[in-house]
Structure 1
Amino acid sequence: MAYKINGKLRGLKPYVPTQEITGVIHLDANESFLNLTPQLIQDAADAVQNTAFNRYPDPYAADLCQAFGNYYGVNATHVTAGNGSDELISLLISNFLMKGETIVTTAPDFSMYTFYPKLAETNDVEAVKGNSFSITPQKLIDTVKKSNARMLLFSNPCNPTSLGFTREEVVQIIESLPDVLTVVDEAYMDFWEQTQSVLGLESRYDNLVILKTCSKMGLAALRLGFSVSNEKLTGLLHSAKSPYNVNSLTQEIGALVLGEKKCLQSHIKQIQQSRDSLLHGIEEILFRYPGAFQLYRSCTNFVTFRFPEAEQLYTYLMECGISARQFPGFLRITAGAPAENQAFLAVMESFFHKKSTLEKGG
C-alpha cells in the first residue's frame, strides 16, 4: 500500500516572496532601504571572528533579550527570542491551542496568520474588515465570543492595510476577553507613536503576548523576532521552543545593533520621512486624478491604496522594473530610498495619465 500524504499537507502551498531580480527596485517586502552603518558592519564582522563555532548558542539568548529589554524599556525576563517572529507565531498557535480549538484573525492581515492554524489542525475564523479597512474593537470582541475562540491574533499597526488600533482600543480588547490569549503583533509599531504600543502592559494581563521583529528596522537578514509576555507565559514559551532556536551569530549581531539605539532611531526617522514623502507624492497623483483610487493614511513603513485596476498597475510596475505587493483589489508599496520613491511615483503617474487619456478617447 502506497504512502499517502495527510489531509493537512495536501494542497499546501509555500509562501512565495518576490524574487530578487537584478535591476528591479524592490518595494514589495517592507524591508528597510537602509543597511547598517559601516561601523556596525565592522563590529558585526568582529563579532563573527570571536564566535565559538564549535559551541551551541545560549538557549535563552540572555544577552540578546537583555539588549531588547534595554532598547524598549521592558523586563528582559519577559522576553523570548525567536528565529523571526514567524517561529513565535507558529509556536503560539501549535502549543497554546489544542486540535480543533479556534483562533480568530482579522482580514486582511499578515497571510501567515491563516497558514499556521492549518498545520496545527485548529479552526481559523476571520473577522473581515470593511471597505475602509477598519474594524471596531467591539466587532472583533463579538466575533471572538461568538466563535468561542481561545486565541486572537492581529497585527497592530496592520500589514497590509497600514492602519492601527490605539492603545486604548487594544486594552479594551484584552480586558473584554480575559479567557482568550490575545496576541498583538507590533512588527510595525516602531513607525507609529510608541505611546500606542502595549509593551509594558504584559505584567498586568495574563492573557497578553506582544510580538516584535527586527526585520523592519534593517535586520531582515538575521531573521530575529521577540515575544513579550508575563513570566508564566514566557516560561511556557521557553519550554515549548526548540533548545537552540536562535543561532549564535544572530544573537551576537542582534544584541550589538540593539545596543545602538541612536543609530536605529535615526534610521526609523529616515524611513518615516520616506513614507511621508511617498504618501504625499501619491496624494498629489490622486489630486490630479480625483476618485482614481482610495488612499489610506499610513502609520507603518509602507503605503496602501485600493482600486479595481490594481493588477494592471502591478503588471505595469513590473514591466518598468519596480516590484510592489499585490493583493486582491489593492497594492502595498514599501517606502524606499528617495530615488526609488521618485521612480515609483513617475511610473504611477504614467499609468494614470494613460488610463485617463484612454477614458477620454484620446
Structure 2
Amino acid sequence: MKGYQTHSQTGILLNANEASQNVDDNVKQEILDAISNLALNRYPDTTCHELHDLYANIMNVPSSWILSGNGSDQMLGFLIQYYLQGNKTLYTLAPDFSMYDYYVELNHAKIEKFETSLDGSFDVDAFISNGKDKKVDMILFSNPNNPTGHAISKLEMIQICEAFSNIPVIFDEAYMEFGNESAIDLLKTYPMAFVCRTLSKAYGLAGIRCGFMISSQVEKLASLFIPYALSSVTQTIASVVLRHAEAYKVNIAAIISERERMYREVKDYKTISFYPSNANFLYGRTDKKDILMNLFKEKNITIRNYADTSFRITIGTSEENEMVLDVLRRFEYANS
C-alpha cells in the first residue's frame, strides 16, 4: 500500500492548488469573534445543521442531501468503503487524484483505470464500453480533472449516468468553481449520482479541511458516517466564510482571468505543451523538465513535479504568475 505524498511547504507555493491569498482580514475577524463564543468543552454538532443549510442554499439542493467531513477526500473514502466491500472494482481515469488508489488499497478493493489523452480528454463511449466489459461496481473521477484540468460536458455526464444507472457514479468536483458545467443538476434525475466538493480551493480554506458529499443517497448513508467528523472550530470557520460566498465570486473570476491570460501566452510554445484548463492550474509537459524545474528552483518557485514528463502550476497572484511566465519565457527562448 502506498501512502499519499504531501506537498512541499517551501518557496512560492504553486504546487498544491491552494488559494494564494489568505482569508480577508474582515472575514478573519468575524471568524475570531465567532470562535471566541464556542463551548470547546462540548462535542460538535454532528448534524452540522448550520453549515449544511448554508451550503445547501449555495448549491440549490435540500440540506438533507449534504454530508460534510474532513476534506472531500474523507467523503470519497467513505463512499469507497461503503460500496466496494467484497473485492469490488472502482472505475476511474488515468491520470487522476492519487487518493482514489489509497482508499481502494485500504479497503482491499480493485481499481480499473481508463487511459486519457495527453490533454486529459477521453472518448466517453469507449469509457462506457470498457466499464461495461469490466463489470465495474463504482465510477469515480475528478471533473475538472486533477492534474490535467480537462472537464467533460453535462451531456457526457448524462451518458455515463444513463449507462451506469445501477451503480454509484461520483463526480469529484473539487475544482468546479473554476469550471463550467456541474453535475449538481443531475442529482434529482439520477439517484445513484454523487457530487463531492471542497472548501480547500475556491474558498481558500485548505487549512481547516472541510468537504461535502451531495446526493439523494445521503439520507440513507448519514447514519453510517463517522460521528463528529468536523470539529466545532471547522464548522464555525466554514459557516462564516460561506456567508460571504458572493464575495468569493470576484476572487474566482480573477483566478480564471489569470489562468486564461497565462494560457494564451504559453499555448503556442515549441518546447512545452500546455493544455486548456477548467481548474485553478495549468498542466504541461516537456522533454527537458529537469532544466525547467531547475529554473523554477532558482526563483524559489515550487510547482508540482510528476514522475513522467508532466508538471502542474497553480494559478497564483498576478505577481506570482508573472514570475512563472518569466521562467517559462526564459526556458522557451533558451531551448527552442
TM range (shorter): over 0.9
Q: 1:225 aligns with which of 182, 193, 211?
A: 211
Cα drift, residue 314 of structure 1: 2.2
1:4 maps to what in 2? none
Q: 1:216 to 1:140 in 2, by over 3 A?
A: same
Kindly report structure 1 stretches of 4+ aligned residues shifted beyond 3 Å. none
The CA deviation string for residues 75-132 of structure 1, in whole angstroms up to 9 with x for no partner, is 1110001110010111010111112111111001111111110111000010111234
Cα drift, residue 13 of structure 1: 3.5
Q: 1:311 to 1:113 in 2, by over 3 A?
A: farther
Q: Is the 8 A contact 1:32 1:271 kept in 2?
A: no
Coordinate RMSD, CA, aligned:
1.4
1:14 maps to what in 2? 3
Q: Is the 8 A contact 1:154 1:184 kept in 2?
A: yes
Cα drift, residue 200 of structure 1: 3.1
Cα drift, residue 16 of structure 1: 2.3
Q: 1:312 to 1:142 in 2, by over 3 A?
A: farther
Q: Distance in 2 between matches of 1:160 and 1:261?
A: 26
Report the secondary structure of 1:244's partner residue. Answer: coil
1:213 maps to what in 2? 198
Q: 1:282 aligns with which of 266, 271, 293?
A: 266
Q: 1:189 aligns with which of 176, 179, 184?
A: 176
**Structure 1, unaligned stretches of length 5 or more?**
1-11, 357-362
1:318 aligns with 2:297: yes
Q: Is the 8 A contact 1:101 1:149 kept in 2?
A: yes
Report the secondary structure of 2:41's partner residue. Answer: coil
1:254 maps to what in 2? 238
**Structure 2, unaligned stretches of length 5 or more?**
none
Q: Distance in 2 between matches of 1:78 and 1:309?
A: 47
Cα drift, residue 234 of structure 1: 0.4
Q: Distance in 2 between matches of 1:141 and 1:187?
A: 23
The range that moved more, 247-256 or 270-279, is: 270-279
Q: Is the 8 A contact 1:314 1:331 kept in 2?
A: no
How many residues align? The count is 334
1:335 maps to what in 2? 315
Q: Is the 8 A contact 1:71 1:259 kept in 2?
A: no
1:1-362 aligned at under 5 Å gives the runs 12-21=1-10, 24-193=11-180, 196-217=181-202, 218-230=204-216, 233-283=217-267, 286=268, 289=269, 291-327=270-306, 328-356=308-336
2:89 alignment partner AA: T
The range that moved more, 200-209 or 145-154, is: 200-209
Report the secondary structure of 1:324's partner residue. Answer: strand
Report the secondary structure of 1:222's partner residue. Answer: coil
